[in-house]
Amino acid sequence: MRALSPRFAPRLTALLPALLLSTPGLAATPDPADWQAVLEEARGQTVYWYAWAGEQRTNDYLDWVAGRVDERFGITLEHVKVGDTAEAVSRVLAEKQAGNDEAGNVDLIWINGENFAAMKENDLLFGPFAEALPNFALTRPAHNPEVVTDFTLPTEGYESPWGRAQITFYYDSDALETPPQDIEALLAWARANPGRFTYPRIPDFTGSTFLKQALIELTDQGEALYAPVEESDFAAVTAPLWEYLDALHPHLWRSGRQFPASGPEMRSLMGDGTLSLAFTFTPSEPAAAVADYELPPSTRSYVPASGTLGNVHFVAIPYNSPHQAGAMVIANYLLSPEAQATKQDLEVWGDRTVLDVARLDDDTRALFDLDQQNPAMLPPGALEQTLPEPHPSWMTALQDAWQARYIGQ
Amino acid sequence: MMLRLAPVLIVTLLVAPILAGLAMALLPAFGYLPALGGEAFSLAPWRALAAQPGIGRSVAISLASGLVATAISLAVVLLYLAAATGSRLDRWIRRLVSPLLSIPHAAAAFGLAFLIAPSGLLARLTSPALTGWERPPDLLIVQDPWGLSLIAGLVIKEVPFLLLMSLAALPQLDAERRVAMARSLGYRPAIAWLKVVAPALYPLIRLPVFAVIAYASSVVDVAMILGPTLPPTLAVSILTWFSDPDLDQRFLASAGAILQLGVTATALLAWWGLERLAARLMAGWIARGGRRRGETSLHLAGKLPILLATGIAFTGIGGLAIYSVAGFWRFPDALPQSVTLDHWAQALPSLGGPLASTALIALCSTLLAAVLVLAALENEQRTGRTASKALWLLYLPLIVPQIAFLFGLVVVMEQLGTRPTHGLIIFGHLLFVLPYVFLSLSEAYRRIDPRWTQLALTLGASRNAVFWRVRLPMLLAPLLTACAVGLAVSIGQYLPTQLLGAGRVTTVTTEAVSLAAGGNRRVIGVWALVQACLPLVGFVIAIGLPKLLWSNRRGMQGAP
């Protein structure tokens, strides 16, 4: 297409719209299958990566990645700090509405769940590219279907896996000896210890995940959660959840009249000693926070025996990014053992790898040895019980229902 | 010739973007935005707005916090001026007012939050000895549903603003002679001031008061830190709707922006009503002729609140400093168990970029504003006309809520195809920097003794030479102060930077607010402290440079 003189290009595209529309995959230039060409095109590009920036450790890791990709591939990586991934999604959507199909501002997005669903539904993504990335094979998707599934939706190569999250509870072992092991026990514990537990304000993603976790444990129609919400009776499926929350809220921090804004803010409340029990979506966060002086050394983590919700988070490339080659090179670098092992390092970020460590060669596997000495870390094997994420439409529906029920009371 | 264009240019620069922005908020508010598939006018966005959970409460809080914060700030300032003018406290406060004004709203809000939170400094200092609290009490203090902490945060920042505006206006009134006259009739000093100076002062600071109402009823960053959450204030809700991935929410957000305009207008209208009422009451009080009663309590009411506000602001900044070096800090320890520079060491590598952007944007927008303002004022001097009517237009960016027109402005920019660049942000900041520079400089410029000019002209100097060699050097101190105010205003801007820069251009302020989402108080401490110190550099230069340059001419060193 590029070789065509601009005079002919419009005529040709006028002839081909049907073909282009029916096979968006073919329109994918640069082509990840020709990796050498991608590398060459990427050199000298500046990639704007829109990523949630609420966590200093994450930002520091992105800085580190920026240094590496500059050194190795001649790519300048700019971390555009967003408070909510939705901001980046709405920007791309606004650009599409304004007819900006080639010079978008966003080159790479840290994404999953309902944001991915929204982008894919509106044809805002470049791809498929992920499965053609050279390092993608290290994730062994045949053995780990979660790296190609995002909240029940198949990713179809439109996003590349980056890290893993799973709800992990943590508590101050000086204030609490035996933490509650399921959602019913949590209510009983909250009754006995008023004001010592809370969850982030909806629509924060950590808070919303807590709602889903509670719903999975409470409802007797669990299978309905894995299909779009329109296909089931929302009120009937979620009735036990609202009953539970109505009972729980009076015993929460601030009697449930106020909620922390985010998971990290909940962690600050733990650091003050205001809360005795909290949870995070990053299993190593409590251990990392002890190292950063944010939590007391008496902090311990656990995953309840019945398991907790977990998911994989991804990076995706908007359809109108002018630096798709650079973005792909970065996505591929993020999957390299070096980048994944550094990310998992407790000193750096502590986000778990998406690579299939058991199937790596011995030397590479050694990079991923976890520091089990830290008492705030989870015991080995704790993350084996992972509950899959419900369909993304449930998240939005639960958020709306929660807000209608508890805002302005 | 060029000079005559300056006022026109200023008005165009300020008014055109605001009108364009408002228009692009108004159309989608009634369902019309072809780019998003809104082809026909409808009331659907308004119905959606009315159906938002807690919308009534959001509006009520925005309205109430705007009015109450303004009323308290104005009362604090007037009582202080009545009770303390000429005292030692007065000299002290006047020296502090510029640094206080320079603290960005977000930093001051964080400082307050760290101070009064249930686990904050105050609770730590008094626990467990006085309170018996071994753990932070479960009290709704920061982000309370009634917006009290939001109001407190606003008062702390608006008191220095109104005080500075009053101090600038007072010389026109010859307050000392008025008070002396009243005292010769037997009035005690503070009562005399309130009865003979305050009624004359108020009309002069009315526009700044309106600006405070508009700001307080529509503020975003302070409300995000201190305001209620379930639901938040209207302005914060609008921000979340605008950034929703579901673009249909843009219609709802636009309707919200217009509603915000209505809320601010209602607040101004209500204030106008209160003015009438206050005027009646004052007239009765003055006519009754009481000369002594209440003098002692006036002295207390004048000095205590301002001391409290100043004290809280500076202690809050101190709290930020402690948090920025704190190791683990368990409640109720008054001080951290250990002190570490880790947080600073971690932040330093990422400080450079935002610092450079902040400085570049602030310097450029302030310089542009200073040149335009000087041109307009010089034009005024030469033509002998004062543009009193146009002053309202100058206040437009301060009275129209940012959130109401900025999103529309972004849509306009998107349609025009402008890329988010530093230039665009500088232009956006100019909207807010220019009015403040004008306000800070105009009085000094107009008050300069015309005999200096006449003398220079009779000595054969050209008009341009008079400007460069007489007026400008004589005005160096106020000009630098105006520039320092401009820098402070630019440094503190959050919404214009975030929206016009598409989030790509990070300044110290956008960084501080986005890190606030992470809730790590130590990191917030570092960034808020940097944010608070940056404008201070400007004020240090503004006060220090004239002293250095004019070390042999005391009259030109300017009042602090």
Is the pLDDT reported for residue B273 higher than 70?
yes
A395 lies within 8 A of chain B by CB: no
Banded model confidence at residue A371, pLDDT cuts 50, 70, 90 = low
Under 8 Å between Cβ of B207 and B91 = no
Which residues, listed in sequence order, are joined to residue A50 by a DSSP beta bridge?
A: A80, A109
For residue B445, what pLDDT is reported?
84
Q: How many CB pairs under 8 A join A and B?
A: 164
Cα–Cα distance for residue pair B141/B137, rounded to 1 Å: 10
Nearest to A176 by CA among A259, A284, A285, A299: A299
ipTM reported for the complex, 2 dp: 0.76
Are A264 and A389 found together in one domain? yes
Are A84 and A222 found together in one domain? no
| φ, ψ at A352 (rounded to 5°) | -70, 150
B506 lies within 8 A of chain A by CB: yes
A372 lies within 8 A of chain B by CB: no
Cα–Cα distance for residue pair A366/A369, rounded to 1 Å: 6
Which residues, listed in sequence order, are joined to residue A386 by a DSSP beta bridge?
A: A308
Rg of chain A over Cα atoms, rounded to whole angstroms, equals 22
For residue A6, what pLDDT is reported?
36
Helix ranges (DSSP H) in A304-378 = 324-334, 337-344, 362-366
Task: Give the tokens for residue B277.
Answer: 């009422």
Please give, rounded to a whole number of angstroms, the shortest distance from the CA of B513 to a CA of chain A: 9
For residue B168, what pLDDT is reported?
81
Please give, rounded to a whole number of angstroms, the shortest distance from the CA of B501 to a CA of chain A: 11
Contact at CB, A195 and B329, closer than 8 angstroms:
no
3-state helix, strand, coil in chain B (%, to 5): 75, 0, 25
Is the pLDDT reported for residue A128 higher than 80?
yes
A57 lies within 8 A of chain B by CB: no
Are A282 and A196 found together in one domain? yes
Residue B38, SS3?
strand
Banded model confidence at residue B408, pLDDT cuts 50, 70, 90 = confident
Nearest to A173 by CA among A288, A304, A286, A307: A286
Please give, rounded to a whole number of angstroms, the shortest distance from the CA of A232 to a CA of chain B: 23
Are A55 and A131 found together in one domain? yes
- Could you tell me if residue A375 is inside a domain? no
Contact at CB, B515 and A56, closer than 8 angstroms:
yes
What is the 8-class DSSP label of residue A231?
Answer: G
Strands A308-316 and A153-154 turn out to be unpaired
Please give, rounded to a whole number of angstroms, the shortest distance from the CA of A114 to a CA of chain B: 9
For residue B420, what pLDDT is reported?
67
B350 lies within 8 A of chain A by CB: yes
Are A207 and A93 found together in one domain? no
Task: Give the tokens for residue B484.
Answer: 């320092």
**Residue range B395-407: mean pLDDT, rounded:** 88
Task: Choose the most confident range, by mean pLDDT, from A184-193, A268-277, B322-331, B370-379.
Answer: A184-193
Angle at B256 between CA B250 and CA B258, to 5 degrees: 110
- The residue type of A216 is I
Lowest-pLDDT range, A22-36, B233-247, B302-316? A22-36
- Chain A segment 199-258 residues within 8 A of B by beta carbon are 201, 253-255, 257-258
Nearest to B358 by CA among B515, B480, B487: B487
What are the pLDDT digits (tens) for A279-298? 998 888 898 888 878 888 89
Cα–Cα distance for residue pair B226/B513, rounded to 1 Å: 13
B54: nearest CB among A56, A261, A407: A407
Cα–Cα distance for residue pair B387/B381, rounded to 1 Å: 11
Task: Give the tokens for residue A90.
Answer: 């709405």
Q: Record the pTM.
A: 0.84
For residue A11, what pLDDT is reported?
36
How many residues can be counted in chain B? 560
Nearest to A315 by CA among A130, A170, A188, A160: A160
Element (H, E) at A87: helix A85-97
- Could you tell me if residue A12 is inside a domain? no
Is the pLDDT reported for residue A40 higher than 60?
yes
Q: How far is CA B6 from CA A57, A381, B18, B541, in A?
A: 49, 72, 19, 27
Are A250 and A399 found together in one domain? yes
Please tell me the total count of domains within chain A. 2
Banded model confidence at residue B47, pLDDT cuts 50, 70, 90 = very high
What are the pLDDT digits (tens) for B490-501? 999 988 998 888
Instruction: Identify the residue with better confidence: A42 or B337.
Output: A42
Banded model confidence at residue A21, pLDDT cuts 50, 70, 90 = very low
Cα–Cα distance for residue pair A145/A363, rounded to 1 Å: 25
Place of tokens 């949630």: A52
- Give the torsion sign (CA, B72, B259, A399, B504): negative
What are the pLDDT digits (tens) for B108-147? 999 999 898 888 888 888 877 787 788 888 787 888 888 9
B62 lies within 8 A of chain A by CB: no
Is the pLDDT reported for residue B392 higher than 80?
no
Nearest to B422 by CA among B483, B351, B506: B506
- Could you tell me if residue A131 is inside a domain? yes
- Could you tell me if residue A377 is inside a domain? no
Element (H, E) at B12: helix B2-29
Contact at CB, B514 and A54, closer than 8 angstroms:
yes
Residues 6+ apart with CB under 8 A from A184: none
- Could you tell me if residue A19 is inside a domain? no
Nearest to B238 by CA among B262, B223, B220, B256: B256
Task: Give the tokens for residue A324.
Answer: 């798709």
* Closest residue, chain B, to A194 (C-alpha): B138
Banded model confidence at residue A50, pLDDT cuts 50, 70, 90 = very high
- Give the torsion sign (CA, A117, A120, A126, A127): positive
Residues 6+ apart with CB under 8 A from B304: none
Is the pLDDT reported for residue B502 higher than 80?
no
Residues of B in contact with A273 (CB under 8 A): 119, 135-136, 330-331
Residues of B in contact with A249 (CB under 8 A): none
Q: What is the mean pLDDT of chain A?
A: 86
% of residues, chain A, pLDDT over 70: 92
For residue A25, what pLDDT is reported?
40
Residues of B in contact with A90 (CB under 8 A): 242-245, 247
Is the pLDDT reported for residue A375 higher than 90?
no
> How many Å from the N-terminal Cα to the C-terminal Cα in chain A?
59
Task: Give the tokens for residue B145.
Answer: 């549903």
- Could you tell me if residue A398 is inside a domain? yes
Cα–Cα distance for residue pair A8/A15, rounded to 1 Å: 11
Under 8 Å between Cβ of B497 and B510 = yes
Is the pLDDT reported for residue A27 higher than 60?
no
Cα–Cα distance for residue pair B241/B249, rounded to 1 Å: 6
Are A286 and A322 found together in one domain? no
% of residues, chain B, pLDDT over 90: 31
Task: Give the tokens for residue B391.
Answer: 């002053």
Please give, rounded to a whole number of angstroms, the shortest distance from the CA of A363 to a CA of chain B: 31
Lowest-pLDDT range, A9-13, B102-106, B176-180, B307-311? A9-13
- Chain B segment 121-160 residues within 8 A of A by beta carbon are 135-136, 138, 140, 143-145
- Could you tell me if residue A1 is inside a domain? no
Are A131 and A242 found together in one domain? no
For residue A14, what pLDDT is reported?
39
For residue B37, what pLDDT is reported?
73
Helix ranges (DSSP H) in B196-341 = 198-204, 206-218, 221-226, 234-242, 249-288, 295-324
Cα–Cα distance for residue pair B260/B247, rounded to 1 Å: 20
Are A243 and A100 found together in one domain? no
Residues of A in contact with B497 (CB under 8 A): none
B338 lies within 8 A of chain A by CB: yes
Under 8 Å between Cβ of A30 and A41 = yes
A46 lies within 8 A of chain B by CB: no
What are the pLDDT digits (tens) for B322-381? 999 988 887 888 888 888 888 888 888 878 889 999 999 999 999 999 999 999 888 888
Cα–Cα distance for residue pair B15/B431, rounded to 1 Å: 9
> Is residue A203 reached through a cis peptide bond, with omega within 30 degrees of 0 on the bond before it?
yes
Lowest-pLDDT range, A42-56, A247-261, B181-195, B499-513? B499-513
Are A184 and A206 found together in one domain? yes
What are the pLDDT digits (tens) for B526-560? 988 998 888 888 888 888 888 888 777 777 766 54
For residue A15, what pLDDT is reported?
38
DSSP secondary structure of A122-181: TT-B--S-GGGSGGGGGG-TTT-GGGGEETTEE-TTSEEEEEEEE-EEEEETTT-SS---
- Could you tell me if residue A3 is inside a domain? no
**Residue range A361-377: mean pLDDT, rounded:** 80
Cα–Cα distance for residue pair A189/A251, rounded to 1 Å: 9
Under 8 Å between Cβ of B331 and B118 = no
Banded model confidence at residue B103, pLDDT cuts 50, 70, 90 = confident
Strands A108-111 and A46-52 turn out to be parallel
Residues of A in contact with B231 (CB under 8 A): 407-408
Element (H, E) at A335: none
Is the pLDDT reported for residue A374 higher than 80?
no
Please give, rounded to a whole number of angstroms, the shortest distance from the CA of A56 to a CA of chain B: 8
Residue B60, SS3?
helix
Give Cα B241 to chain centroid, integer Å.
Answer: 25
Cα–Cα distance for residue pair B513/B518, rounded to 1 Å: 9
- Structural domain boundaries, residue A241: 166-311+384-406
B138: nearest CB among A201, A254, A268: A254
Contact at CB, A261 and B517, closer than 8 angstroms:
yes
Longest dimension (CA), chain A: 76
What is the 8-class DSSP label of residue A163?
Answer: E
Contact at CB, B119 and A274, closer than 8 angstroms:
yes
Are A149 and A31 found together in one domain? yes
Give Cα A329 to chain centroid, integer Å.
Answer: 20
B519: nearest CB among A91, A194, A264: A264
Under 8 Å between Cβ of A50 and A87 = yes
Which residues, listed in sequence order, are joined to residue A170 by a DSSP beta bridge?
A: A278, A301
Task: Give the tokens for residue A198.
Answer: 């809370």
CATH number of the domain enclosing A57: 3.40.190.10
A195 lies within 8 A of chain B by CB: yes
Give Cα B273 to chain centroid, integer Å.
Answer: 24
B87 lies within 8 A of chain A by CB: no
B50 lies within 8 A of chain A by CB: no
B231 lies within 8 A of chain A by CB: yes
Please give, rounded to a whole number of angstroms, the shortest distance from the CA of A256 to a CA of chain B: 10
For residue A205, what pLDDT is reported?
85
Place of tokens 């539904």: A121
Cα–Cα distance for residue pair B85/B91, rounded to 1 Å: 9
Is the pLDDT reported for residue A147 higher than 70?
yes
Nearest to B200 by CA among B218, B177, B173, B180: B173
% of residues, chain A, pLDDT over 90: 53
Cα–Cα distance for residue pair B524/B107, rounded to 1 Å: 9
Is the pLDDT reported for residue A175 higher than 90?
no
For residue B471, what pLDDT is reported?
87
Are A355 and A397 found together in one domain? no
Residue B503, SS3?
coil
B230 lies within 8 A of chain A by CB: yes
Which residues, listed in sequence order, are joined to residue A349 by a DSSP beta bridge?
A: none
